[in-house]
Every structure is written in C-alpha cells, then in structure tokens.
C-alpha cells in the first residue's frame, strides 16, 4: 500500500466559527497589508494564538507541528493526521493533513502549498514562537529565500480588538463573575481548595454552553488558593483544607473559543488580623487608583511608575510581585498574549481605544512576617474614546470578601 505524505480530507461540513466571515476577512486583509508592506511572498504561522486568530482553528500540539500558510492568494492550515478533519471543519479556510509515516512530512505539506507558484523570495515567520530547529528546517527547504520576523507586527494588530472580539470578552468577564459567585457559596472551614475550584469551573463551563452553543469547550479552569499557597498567582490548587482566618485567592478563567478572560479576588475566611487588613487595604487602594489611570493616551510605563510611588508611600513596594496588568484576547495565559501591551516599567505602549487590559496589583508578604500571604485583585477594562469600561463586576475589598462560614 502506498501511503501518502499528506492529503486533503473534507469529512463533514464546516461548523459555525466564533466570528463572522467578514471578521476573518478583515483580519486577512490586515495581514496581507503586512505582506505587501514588507515585500513578503508568504507567511508561515506556527503559534496557536495566531493560527486561531486568523483561521478559527485551535490546535492541540502534543509534540506535533502545526502551521498556516498565507500568501496573496492562499490561506491553508496544516495539521497532523491524528486530528482527521476537525481542523478543516473549524477553519475559515482550507486545510492539508500531513501523515506521521515520515519525519518531515509537515515540511512536504508546506512545499505542496507553494506548488508551482513562483518560489518565495522572502518569508515571514514568528521569531517569538518558531523553534530554532524548525527555523533551520524552513531554511533547508527554502534555501533560496530570506526570512523576516513579523511577530511584533502581528502582535500589534491583535492588541486592537474588534466589536465582535469585545463582545466575546465581555461575556467571558460575565461568566468569570458567575464562577466566582459559585465558589464563594462553597467556602467554609474544612473544605479543600480542589472541591471549591471544581464548583466554579463547572458553573462557568455550563454557562459557556448556554451562551455559546456552537463553541469548542476547552481549557476553562480555576485556581483557588489558601494560606501559604496564595504566595504565587499561578500556584496550582491542592487538597489543603481551609481553616478559619485563612487568606484566600480566587482565580476564575473561562475560555470561549480561544478567548480567555480572568477574575482574581483576595478573600479571608471568617476573620482577619490587623496586619493582613492593612496589607489588603493597601493593595485595594493601588487597585482603585490603577483603574482610574486606564484611559486612552496613557503610557503603560507611566501608569506603572505612579502605582509604584503609591505602593512606596503605603510601605509595600518591596512586596510587589508582578506587572500591574496585561492584554486580554486570543489564548492568553498558557498560550501567549500581546506582551507589548503590559503595565510594566519597560513598556512604553500608549493605550488606545479598543485595547483590552487588566488591572491587577499583587503583593506577597513572606511567611513569618505580619500579614503574610499573597494579595491580588484583578479587573478587565475595555478602553474607549472617553476612558475605560470595567467589565469585571464581582466586588473587591475587605467590605465585601470576608466570608463568614
């Protein structure tokens, strides 16, 4: 039997994608302007976030290679045979499947897309994602071509959200609020982190199903931390049981067809000591000021410096653990985000309407010191012409989140 190196398979029918045809066309038009401006003959996308953004297809790598070829005339995703026709059904464009029988069939599939077209002189790639090994393979099969990094330009395009993107992000924030509300109902002495987190995750996933019947359901998750486990924002949940007086950190992350949102809140169980209350109130004060500073025309680094000054006045700057916020959109957190839109000292990006950014001051006081624990508040804001809309509605601060149970 002669088994193919690659092939096409259109099994079933195209499904309803997260965005309209005109939305995907608008994104394609913009990336083709990059092709024209940089005198590129084609682009090879390899990152999960860009392939999802331009085609609708979210891949599961599991050590395999995936790609998307974009030229002035073609858009084709390349997927592994293990996925069958799912990539074609969930893409706005065409798809080629490569087989596992030979090591570099992925590369052969890329060459097949170029086919008898004029050989590409210049190829755009994502230097912030493509591995050195894969880059060397690209160079080996396109030895006559030059390669140009387009990752920063693509990232900049993704920072400005469309009306359709903002709608899905707003719904994500609403669903995160619901997850938080559900978890609070289950906070009590003796409950463990995992069982509380499960309630929030299940609530959010069921709400996503209700709101987005045609979505792909994947990677909605919750971190719920207590006591010493609150020291890191991304610490996994454990079986630690809650005790009265615990500091708690609630983190809800719904994912809707590749778009993440997030909500984080500090809470205490039943009671709080004076040192912890002082630290919490300091972080809340910085959070409130940060929310006021998010508006068009503001510079990311300047927001950061002002909040640093406020933390210093309050006596907690030395405990700060993270930048004050970052972009939200397609596949943030585990899978990559627009790192050029982040509230850090070394980022001078100017905020613009239709950017989406979080405000999330964090301090961590080590064990053995008064007020020990990790304090975090996290809201998401959509920047508009006049300021910013806070789309996170779950309340924050000591007056709301000392849970009596």
105 and 71 together in one domain: yes
Q: Is 234 a catalytic residue?
A: yes
Across 305-319, b (16+ Cβ under 10 Å) vs e yields: ebbeebbeebebbeb
120 and 147 together in one domain: yes
In the prediction, which pLDDT does 115 show? 80
Domain end among 97, 129, 158? 158
341 belongs to a structural domain: yes
152 and 167 together in one domain: no
In the prediction, which pLDDT does 334 show? 56
Tell me, what CATH number does 73's domain have? 3.40.350.10
* pLDDT tens figures, 293-344: 999 999 999 999 999 999 999 999 999 998 999 999 987 665 556 778 999 9
225 and 353 together in one domain: yes
In the prediction, which pLDDT does 109 show? 96
Across 65-97, b (16+ Cβ under 10 Å) vs e yields: bbbbbbbeeebbbbbbbebebbbbbbbbbebbb
From the list 49, 90, 129, 234, the catalytic residue is 234
Residue in 20, 24, 47, 50 with CA at minimum distance from that of residue 156: 50
75 and 207 together in one domain: no
Q: What is the pTM of this model?
A: 0.95
360 and 213 together in one domain: yes
DSSP state string for 104-149 = THHHHHHHHHHTTSPPPSEEEE-TTTS-HHHHHHHHHHTTT-EEEE
109 and 53 together in one domain: yes
What is the domain extent for residue 225? 160-403
Domain end among 158, 178, 193? 158
Residue for token pair 């990336």: 31
Q: How many domains is the chain built from?
A: 2
354 and 210 together in one domain: yes
223 and 284 together in one domain: yes
The CA distance from 76 to 69, in Å, is: 5
Domain end among 158, 180, 213? 158
- The ranges of the chain with pLDDT < 70 are 116, 332-337
351 and 205 together in one domain: yes
**What is the token pair recorded at 287?**
């959070």
In the prediction, which pLDDT does 122 show? 96
In the prediction, which pLDDT does 2 show? 83
Tell me, what CATH number does 232's domain have? 3.90.230.10
139 and 170 together in one domain: no
């Amino acid at each position: 039997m002669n088994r193919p190196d690659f092939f096409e398979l259109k099994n079933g029918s195209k499904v309803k994608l997260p965005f309209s045809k005109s939305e995907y066309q608008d994104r394609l038009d913009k990336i083709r302007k990059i092709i024209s401006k940089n005198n590129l003959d084609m682009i090879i996308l390899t990152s999960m976030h860009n392939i999802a953004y331009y085609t609708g297809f979210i891949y599961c790598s599991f050590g395999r290679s995936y790609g998307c070829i974009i030229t002035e005339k073609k858009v084709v995703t390349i997927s592994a045979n293990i996925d069958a026709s799912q990539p074609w059904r969930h893409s706005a464009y065409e798809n080629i499947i490569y087989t596992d029988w030979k090591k570099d069939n992925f590369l052969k599939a890329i060459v097949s897309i170029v086919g008898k077209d004029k050989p590409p002189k210049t190829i755009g790639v994502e230097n912030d994602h493509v591995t050195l090994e894969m880059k060397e393979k690209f160079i080996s099969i396109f030895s006559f071509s030059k390669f140009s990094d387009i990752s920063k330009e693509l990232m900049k395009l993704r920072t400005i959200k469309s009306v359709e993107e903002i709608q899905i992000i707003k719904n994500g924030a609403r669903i995160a609020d619901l997850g938080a509300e559900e978890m609070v109902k289950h906070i009590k002495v003796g409950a463990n982190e995992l069982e509380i987190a499960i309630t929030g995750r299940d609530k959010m996933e069921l709400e996503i199903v209700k709101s987005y019947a045609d979505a792909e359901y994947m990677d909605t998750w919750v971190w719920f931390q207590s006591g010493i486990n609150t020291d890191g924002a991304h610490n996994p949940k454990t079986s630690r049981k809650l005790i009265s007086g615990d500091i708690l950190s609630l983190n809800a992350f719904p994912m809707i067809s590749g778009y993440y949102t997030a909500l984080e809140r500090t809470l205490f169980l039943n009671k709080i000591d004076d040192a912890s209350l002082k630290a919490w109130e300091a972080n809340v004060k910085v959070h409130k000021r940060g929310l006021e500073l998010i508006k068009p025309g503001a510079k990311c680094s300047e927001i950061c410096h002002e909040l640093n000054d406020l933390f210093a006045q309050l006596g907690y700057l030395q405990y700060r653990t993270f930048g004050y916020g970052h972009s939200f959109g397609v596949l943030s957190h585990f899978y990559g985000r627009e790192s050029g839109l982040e509230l850090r000292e070394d980022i001078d990006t100017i905020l613009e309407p239709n950017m989406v950014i979080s405000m999330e001051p964090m301090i961590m006081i080590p064990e053995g010191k008064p007020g020990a624990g990790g304090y975090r508040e996290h809201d998401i804001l959509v920047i508009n012409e006049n300021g910013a809309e806070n789309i996170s509605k779950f309340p924050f601060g000591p007056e709301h989140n000392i849970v009596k149970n």
